[in-house]
Chain A
Amino acid sequence: MTDSRPIHSVVLVKQVPDTHNVTGDVMTKDGTMNRGALPAIFNPEDLNALEMALQIRADHGGSVTVITMGPPKAANILRDSLFRGADRVVLLTDRKFAGADTLATSYVLQLAVEKLGRFDLVLCGRQAIDGDTAQVGPQTAEKLGIPQITYVESIVEITSTHITAERALDSGSEIVRCTLPCLLTVVGSANTPRPASVRRQMERKLAAAPSDYKAIRAKWPEFETDEALEAFLSKHDLKIPVWTAEDIGATEGSIGLAGSPTQVHKINFVVLESTESKTVPPTPEGIAAMVAELVHEYIVG
């Protein structure tokens, strides 16, 4: 460990609708979406990225900063990050960010990472489950002008100048060595994210962005004004900083809907085609009849 130094990591995370657990009631009868039926969760592979950053900090020292772009309620996953061990979090929220595609998102993340100052590694999950595009990581790396290692399964070594990592590919794996700083996208099999620590949860449960103040004051009426609450939070290092488009110096034409080259031309609700179909009773006789039919049609046998 002679050629080692503290490593400062920035983890990019996203709050996503839990599309993995879509049930029948998400779609209403008139073909619209019942978004309320989908809970908002911490994007699973972003948790793997956070875990990797925390392990790097344990091995090398340094810091872990977590940032997210999203609506005010995305502060939930930042609080969760603090409970799991992040040193610092920043919420990027602004109505002007809304409607961003991956290109406009990566521009905002680039500006935010640059505003944070010095960093050695940027980590994010391979992809978010709401779009599965896996684009924001590489696009952010390009905008930051740093190399990228996608599909990181494990870290082999980090020196003061280089990182060596294993990439998990469909067709095998690859060990690559890359200069720092660089961006990593982390796959779900890389590690098992640690749970929130009870101690941290006790210490930082009040961590809040301004959009949370109302809820906190409803629960703790002793904070008579937002100002009083904010003074308390600032004093105890519990204030979640919020950065707007202006704070990061974003050009309006490059963010949100206006900064997104992709546009939605149309949305079709999924209409399932009803084919010629049979209901087969789950009985030995029913199954045998079906098998006989398949054999007869030369589908099997």
Chain B
Amino acid sequence: MAATKSIWVFIEHTNDHIADVSLELTGKARELADQLGYEVVGLLCGRAVDDLAQQVIHHGADRVLLADHEELSLYRTLPYARVAIAEAQRRKPEIFLVGGTPNGRDFAPRVASALRCGLTADCTDLQIGDYHVRKEDKTYKDLLYQIRPAFGGNLIATIVNPNTRPQMATVREGVMRKLAADATRTGVVEKIVPAFEPGDFALEVLSRQVRKSTVKLKDATVIVAGGAGVDGADEFALLRDLANLLGGEVGASRAAVDAGLIDRAHQVGQTGTTVRPRLYIAAGISGAIQHRAGMDQSSKIIAINTDPAAPMFQIAHYRIVGDVGEVLPMIIKSLRERSIDQREAE
């Protein structure tokens, strides 16, 4: 078993709850590993987290490396990275996937730098394929294709790491789909003993405030999202009205978040949340690929924009060339009238 090649997943957790993205990546790792005949390994650091190890196995892992230590009870860069670096140097995984959460993005580059391996951020797809280098007349087999938008989203780049291991990538929550938990799946939980160094405790967490997110973008069936074309807070309030009317959530492009119109928790896209609602209304969102990557799987898309050349129109099912401030009230009015008609009919 020791000679088996492996795909690793960094298992993040808070308050005895594994982050969705870690289980999603475990599912993706399972798919890639089945293709290659590799083993899926979850790297789990924490304190008294044995129960979580079983969940990782139920979601697709063959093995969990469990570092159980008091110093690992809360995420901290250096102790967590110490465990990952030491184990990766010893076991030499082929691939190492990390969730694109704030702490995942704190952890992954630290580990990649120490291992001197390549790391690609915010991949929107992962595949296995070959890579031919003409200059060397050599074909590298079975590399991880790390696929992500690049150059302001005008291009999709496929990145490979031919010469270094592990091939590291981060992926945002919602991009991959987790496997349904299968309680009959079995696997090995292997305890590992961390060898810390004094410098690993340079940082202490004095307090941590967890804000329960009230934004449930990922599971919303309707999302009304606004972008740079929404003129100020008053117009943005129309999005909320419409979302409330439809029982949906308010989403936003990065431009709207950067303009301070709405909290970052509402951001849809490659660097925000990936969503697949039944209806996505893009109000004043031009449709940069980073945004589209997070919503183009929506069943129906309505795009509203004054610019008829906005890229969003090319993936929209309903194109409305017009001003958000005029079109949204029309939709709201039309929906209200329908519900009145319905009530009268009943």
Contact = CB atoms under 8 A, between A and B. Distances in A.
Nearest to B278: A299
A269 B265 contact: no
A175 B334 contact: no
Given A174-B207, A175-B206, A262-B160, A282 B321 contact: yes
A132 B271 contact: yes
A287 B330 contact: yes
B155 A270 contact: yes
Interface string A114-157: 00000000000000001111111111111101011111000000
B204 interface: yes
B161 A261 contact: yes
A132 B258 contact: no
A290 B316 CA distance: 13
**Chain B binding surface SS class:** mixed
A182 B118 CA distance: 24
B318 A277 contact: yes
Contacts of A188: 258
Given A26-B152, A147-B202, A261-B163, A171 B14 contact: yes
B105 to A, nearest CB: 5
A267 B162 CA distance: 17
Interface stretch (B1-9, B38-46, B50-58, B299-307): B299-307
Given A132-B121, A141-B110, A280-B318, A22 B334 contact: no
Interface residue tally of chain B, by bracket?
Answer: 35 or more
Interface residues of A, number: 84
A272 to B, nearest CB: 4
Contacts, number: 251
A176 B101 contact: no
A145 to B, nearest CB: 8
Contact of B153 (A19, A133, A286, A297): A19
B314 A134 contact: no
A294 B112 contact: no
Interface string A196-218: 00000000000000000000000
B113 A264 contact: no
A170 B264 contact: yes
A265 interface: yes
A220 B9 CA distance: 60
A277 B316 contact: yes
A297 to B, nearest CB: 8
A126 B129 CA distance: 32
Contact of B319 (A262, A265, A277, A294): A277
Given A147-B202, A171-B14, A299-B278, A133 B121 contact: yes
Interface stretch (A56-64, A65-73, A89-97, A101-109): A101-109
B202 A179 contact: yes
A233 interface: no
Interface string B123-136: 00000010100000
A190 to B, nearest CB: 14
Contacts of B321: 279, 282
B128 to A, nearest CB: 12
Nearest to A261: B118
A147 B207 contact: no
Interface string A162-199: 00100101111111111100100000100000000000
Interface of A: 17, 19-20, 22, 24, 26-27, 33, 38, 101-103, 106, 130-143, 145, 147-151, 164, 167, 169-179, 182, 188, 260-270, 272-284, 286-288, 290-292, 294-295, 297, 299-301
Given A132-B271, A150-B77, A176-B205, 16 more contacts: A101-B118, A103-B116, A138-B77, A138-B110, A139-B109, A141-B110, A142-B114, A145-B199, A150-B105, A151-B102, A172-B208, A173-B211, A262-B118, A269-B155, A278-B318, A280-B320
Q: 4 smallest A-B Cβ distances: which pairs? A: A282-B322, A19-B152, A261-B118, A272-B314
